[in-house]
Amino acid sequence: MPIKMTKAAADQVRKSAFEAKMDNTPLRIAATRNADDSLHYGLGFDDVGSGSEKDHRFESNGIELVVAESSLDLLDGTTIDFVELEPRQFHFVFLNPNDPNYSPPKEE
């Protein structure tokens, strides 16, 4: 199952890319497993030519996503969102069924 990005997350990536003069630059997503079995995530714009033939590429809401082979299984089925966790404090969140701390969002 591919990795997805919500419209809110994609809009924020486009805004950040524009501000950093990195328009049309793919977004690299990474995950590593911590000693306590939780996952640590990373996001960053991928410099042109820094990728590997083993990288996997996805497109979601107009954003090109790049994932290294080593992170693919950990990120399989993940949705990245951009949400307000506290008043005026927005963060990227990883909704990842492979993360032991994940609990699906409740339907309202």
Report the pLDDT averaged over residues 38-42: 93
Structure confidence at residue 107 (pLDDT): 64
Full strand arrangement of the beta sheet holding 39-45: 39-45, 27-33, 63-67, 56-60
Structure confidence at residue 103 (pLDDT): 80
Which tens digits make up the pLDDT trace of 6-27? Answer: 999 999 999 999 999 998 899 9
Q: Structure pTM?
A: 0.86
| Token pair in block for residue 108 | 């309202």
Is residue 106, in this structure, part of any structural domain at all?
A: no
Is residue 100, in this structure, part of any structural domain at all?
A: no
Is residue 12, in this structure, part of any structural domain at all?
A: yes
Q: What CATH number does residue 15 fall under?
A: 2.60.300.12
Is residue 104, in this structure, part of any structural domain at all?
A: no
